[in-house]
Structure 1
Amino acid sequence: MYQSYAVGLDETQESKSAYQTYAVGQDAYQASESGHGPYQPHEPGYGLYQPGYGPYDDQIPDPKSRMLAIQNAKAYLLKSSTTSGLNLYDHLANVLTKVLDEQPTNAADIIENISKDVKWAQFQKKMDTLQDEHDILPTFEAAEKRKALFLKGNGEDEELEEEIGETPLPNVMEMAFYFEQTGIGLSKDEFYHIFLALKKLISGQPIQSCRFWGKILGLEMNYIIAEVQYLEGEEETEEEEISEEGGKEMGEIEAEDEDEEKEKEDEPPKSTYQPPPAIPKEQNGTGANKYVYFVCNEPGKPWVKLPPVTPAQIVCARKIKKFFTGRLDAPIMSFPPFPGNEANYLRAQIARISAGTHISPIGFYQFSEEETDEEEEGERATYEENPDFQPLSVDEMVDSLSTWVHHTQSILKQGRCAWFNPFQKSEEEEEEEEEEEENTEEPDEIQQEIGPPLLTPLSEDEGIQNIPAWTAQPSTNLIPQHAVAVLRSNRWPGAYAFTSGKKFGNIYFGWGHKYIPGNHNPTLPPPVQGEYPSGPETTETRDPTLEEELAFKAAKEEALAAAEEEEDEEDIEDEEEEDD
């Protein structure tokens, strides 16, 4: 019995020694691979050895528990990342596969780079379920759009050599240089792109003069604006819509007249209100439509010509305040309703800003001497450059606003630069109305609006409460010999002007809104219209009751009976007189 116990003990010791040998081998292998002994509790590999089953324990580990620990560890390694979607098990397997396939020298030193390469190779582009990510970057798209600006056409160099002295292309970079000294303007790259865009515009249009007007900001996109004047006779004329009615025969006309008379008898009374006559727009090349404006959202995009402005659009634009979206076809939702879309509203704001902020040094322009007496008596609308202009110093241009003048006509309350009498009629209409003067009443005469004449000094501009209309200052006080005089409009924030010697310029960068001291108060809707006045002609009578109808019939019968008796008595009296 002792022998059997000893044999069992020997077998137990042998199995234990075998396990210790296996554990020592595993530890030696791990030590050779990782550089340290058995895993400690704070190390990641400690979970493979459950408590009570370590290599130094007295009991033999259970294979099931060991497999469970291995499966739990593998499940943890197979857990996918919430950001990249990868798991550590596959990543380590791919890294080891790459190391064994390539067998680089000093693999331990470059294992981080190998891991990055494996991740980059497995990278997949993120795709949204609603909209795929753009394949083309925005910077690449912008470069492709502006690429055409830097390309030359065939024979373009020869044309430039012939017309280099008469080109209408403005020197945008020179203007940018002067405005940069005053701290105003865009980046040099954007200015140069606009320069090339204006060159492309001039090449495709019969243009006499061109100028970079400015940039109006929008919520979605911005507007780059070019001011253009066409050559004489080259401007596109708008087609007038003429309504043509077909002729009718005399019989049809008479029948229609009879039907109209019958309808008039049954029609209810109509209102005698007549809306005021519409004010026509000014002709192209005059007044608010003196210049033509082209806009684009970015340099490289096609230029779009804005339509002419009408007086109704200018009058309505003064009553509303809307931010631009950058889309010309966007509707204008406002009260009072604006007659047009965003392109018309943009054109109206450009006309208002130009009329109030385009200024020049005094004496730079002068009125032409070849003017008729009528033009001298009325407002002068034309001027020319003064060849004998002598510029003033920067200090003089800054100290007094009387050294600056407006060279753009102001817009009247009517919405036109030149006043129009809506009740003025032609000779034929006057002859026709002379016959009907007795039955018609003459409308009240309208007083003619008179605005400030051209080349009016800025000192006459009205301020905004306690704020002057303009602020003048030099570009620098450290080097006054080379300073530039700059003016900033307080009525239209974003409008600037500079002068340096015989050169001056105007530009606008802003939202296209006029300064308001207080909050913007929209126009209130008109009061509710009163009810139509009731009268005997329009008031319906009450229906009689049955008793009233019977009483009316009885009274009518009595009246008929009394009339018959009177007639009988008169007949008897007449017969008696005849017998006598």
Structure 2
Amino acid sequence: MESTDGNDAKSEQRLKSAAALKSFMLKSSTESKLNLYDHLSRVLMKVMDEHPDNAVDVIEDVSREVKRGLFEDKQSTLRDLPQTTAAELLAEQQRLLFSRPEEADQEEELMDTPLPNVSEVAFYLEQAGVGLGREEMQRVFLALKQLVESQGLPRCRLWGKILGTESSYIVAEAEYREGEEEEENTEDAAEDEERDVEKEMNPLPQSAYRPPPTVPKEALGTGANKFAFYVCKEPGLPWVKLPSVSPAQITGARQIRKFFTGTLDTPIVSYPPFPGNEANYLRAQIARISAGTQVSPQGFYQAGEEEGDEEDEAPRDSFEVNPDFEGVPVAEMAESLSTWVHHVQHILQQGRCTWVNLAVKPGDDSNEEGEGEEKEEEPDEPEPEVGPPLLTPLSQDAEMLNIPPWTSKMSSVLTSQHALAVLRSNLWPGAYSYASGKKFENIYVGWGLKYSGEGFSQAVPPPPQKEYPSGPEITEALDPSVEEEQVLKEALEEQQAAQEEKEDTDDPEEEDDD
């Protein structure tokens, strides 16, 4: 009876432990929501159905396949839509460039357009090895067309592209509309009147210090402000008109060297301080690049007709297309720089294209009291600064840092009959010009910085010193033993004794001689 009772107790205990183990195996995982009991059952059923060879070696792979099959059955084939990328947003904005308005007539499109043939310009630039590529040039052409239609510009062309650390600027050069100069002058006059009123209402204590006179800005349509410039980051994005440039900004741009960021309202942190933000700095660099790199074949332009004797003394700032121009051979333009000329005015050290005498105060009509002062100030009047006139050949350009200012070549030597004359500026890297017959164009694609010499290169370290020479004087010797020291001591004593005996034998002979 005792044995049967013991067996019953053990069986009950096993049943309880089996039930506890089964309940443990039936617990679902918090991650996969599966339990071990069902998983082992599926694995055993798969082994019984497939009878794989060496089942004990592949049991882990079978378990992984069973689990993967459960997840694949529950996995949905639908995918969440990704977020709209910046490229898709830009493409959506550029899509408007390719839409043709219904109201546009073919007759209006066949009329004279203020835009050049950008496709033809892109073809020639590609032959010259420069430009923006066919696709980008086509988008830029459509963006320029949109700019002309929205602003009503009389003339517009692609000036180039200035690279930036974050984004770049596509620059368009356009002529001012009629009346823009008058509007800006009225604004300046209103500002001057407000300043005069403030000075009268709030008089300040007078100081003996007189700041240097401010160089006046050139009027719109003349000098460095002859053209208006519009910029955009990508074709399809809105165009932004750059402000007119002042002589102080041109002078400040010559003293600093800054990369563009791609944001117009970025402040320029430099020394000496620059009077303006990145938009003003960009406009100043564009004026400098245009004055130094806008060239044309000699004879394409001719000096404009000016009336009056006074205008002949001033530097000519107007030119017109020569109707009798027949073109210059490409080979000659590729060999000689004298066949190219500047058709943009040179910017003087004063920051203007035309020199202004700051010693003469405008509006000073006093004669009696001012005659004596004028006589005293006559020796101190500055000498007028004169720059090279318009249509000056490129062969007269000065070198900088022992580098020629220009490099000319032919676009192709194998097919010279269809080649172009290509000109590259070494002082403004990124400025290129091409000419073929009566057609030419200028473009700039670069960082907007002037060449300043080769970059700093670390000096080569000196060669390592030679190892010490091996010889008996510096070679370390082993310490002698006691026996060797004793032998050496005895040898030295014998040598000393022999020396003393020799000296004693020599002394009597010397006495006999005396």
- Per the shorter chain, which TM-score range? 0.7 to 0.9
Normalised by the size of structure 2, how large is the TM-score?
0.73
1:206 aligned residue? 152
3-state DSSP of counterpart to 1:463: coil
The residue that corresponds to 1:276 in the other structure is 212
C-alpha distance after superposition, 1:21-66 (max 9, x if no partner): xxxxx999666522425523x323499xxxxxxxxxxxxxxxxxxx
Per the alignment, residue 95 of structure 2 pairs with 147
Alignment of 1:237-276 (within 5 A): 237-238=183-184, 239-240=187-188, 241-244=191-194, 272-276=208-212
* Aligned 1:110-129 pairs, distance under 5 A: 118=75, 120-121=77-78
Q: Which region of structure 1 is more displaced relative to structure 2, 370-379 or 355-364?
A: 370-379
Matched, 1:174 2:117: no
For residue 436 of structure 1, report the CA deviation from its aligned partner: 7.9
The partner residue of 1:510 within 440, 446, 453 is 446
- Whichever residue aligns with residue 210 of structure 1, its letter is C
Spell out the pairing of 1:31-50 with structure 2 (5 A cutoff): 33-37=49-53, 39-40=55-56, 42-45=57-60
Distance 1:212 1:370 in 2: 30
* Equivalent residues of 2:167, 2:233 under 8 A apart: yes
Q: 1:219 pairs with 165, 187, 194, which one?
A: 165
Question: 1:393, 1:438 → 2: CA distance?
Answer: 56
Provide the C-alpha distance between the structure 1 equivalents of 2:389 and 2:123, rounded to a whole number of angstroms: 32
Larger radius of gyration: 1
Superposed CA deviations along residues 146-184 of structure 1, whole A, max 9, x for unmatched, are: 011111224222xx5136332102211111100101111
TM-score (norm. length: structure 1): 0.65
Secondary structure of 2:154's counterpart equals strand
Give 1:234 deviation, angstroms. 5.4
SS at match of 2:175: strand
C-alpha distance after superposition, 1:464-494 (max 9, x if no partner): 2332100000000010000011000000000
Report the counterpart of residue 267 of structure 2 in structure 1: 331
Question: What's the CA shift for 1:135?
Answer: 1.4
Shift of 1:375: 2.4
User: Does the CA contact (< 8 Å) of 1:39 and 1:45 recur in 2?
Assistant: no
- Call closer, same or farther: CA 1:433–1:343 in 2, change over 3 Å: farther
Q: Deviations over 1:79-119 (max 9, x none)?
A: xxxxxxxxx87643233x57xxxxxxxxxxxxxxxxxxx37
Query: For residues 142 and 248 of structure 1, what CA distance do their matches in structure 2 show?
Result: 50
CA distance in 2 between counterparts of 1:417 and 1:33 reads 94
Aligned-partner Cα distance in 2 for 1:428–1:46? 101
Mapped pair 1:409 → 2:314: no
Aligned twin of 2:473: none
Describe the shift of the 1:247–1:477 C-alpha distance in structure 2 as closer, same or farther (beyond 3 A): closer
Moved more, 386-395 or 233-242: 233-242
Counterpart residue identity of residue 101, structure 2:
G
Amino acid at match of 1:92: G
**Is the partner of 2:151 in helix, strand or coil?**
coil
Cα separation, 1, equivalents of 2:199 and 2:250: 41
Contact 1:316/1:338 (8 A) holds in 2: yes
Q: CA deviation at 1:414?
A: 0.2
Helix, strand or coil for the counterpart of 1:153?
Answer: coil
Which residues in structure 2 correspond to 1:137-536 (within 5 Å)?
137-157=85-105, 161-162=107-108, 164-233=110-179, 237-238=183-184, 239-240=187-188, 241-244=191-194, 272-426=208-362, 428-431=364-367, 433-434=369-370, 437=373, 444-518=380-454
SS of the residue corresponding to residue 323 of structure 1 reads coil
In structure 1, stretches of 5+ residues that fail to align are 1-25, 48-72, 78-87, 99-117, 126-133, 265-269, 521-580
Distance 1:507 1:433, change over 3 A: farther
1:92 aligns with 2:40: no
**Partners of 1:119 and 1:168 in 2: how far apart?**
57
| Contact residue 30 and residue 37 of structure 1 kept, 8 A | no
Post-superposition offset of 1:225: 0.5
Between the aligned partners of 1:282 and 1:391, the Cα distance in structure 2 is 34
What residue is the counterpart of 1:136 in the other structure? 84
Higher relative contact order (CA 8 A, sep 6+): 2
Deviation for aligned residue 1:278: 0.3
Matched position secondary structure for 1:428: coil
- More deviation, 233-242/509-518: 233-242
Deviation at 1:377, TM superposition (A): 2.7
What is the distance in 1 between the residues matched to 2:180 and 2:374? 49
Judged with a 3 Å threshold, the aligned counterparts in structure 2 of structure 1 residues 474 and 32 are, in CA distance, closer, same or farther, namely same
**Pair 388,120 (structure 1): closer, same or farther in 2 beyond 3 Å:** same
C-alpha distance in 1 between matches for 2:224 and 2:199: 42
Residue in structure 1 matched with residue 9 of structure 2 by the alignment:
none
User: How many pairs were matched up?
Assistant: 412
- Percent of matched pairs sharing the same residue: 53
Displacement, 1:368? 2.2
| Partner in structure 2 of residue 563 of structure 1 | none
CA distance in 2, matches of 1:175, 1:233: 31
Contact 1:27–1:37, Cα closer than 8 Å, also in 2:
no
Structure 1 residue 393 displacement after superposition = 1.0
What is the CA deviation profile of residues 119-162 of structure 1, one whole-angstrom value per residue up to 9, with x for unaligned ones? 755x668xxxxxxxx711233112101011111224222xx513
Note if contact 1:31-1:37 (Cα within 8 Å) is conserved in structure 2: no
Distance of 1:152 and 1:360 partners within structure 2: 35
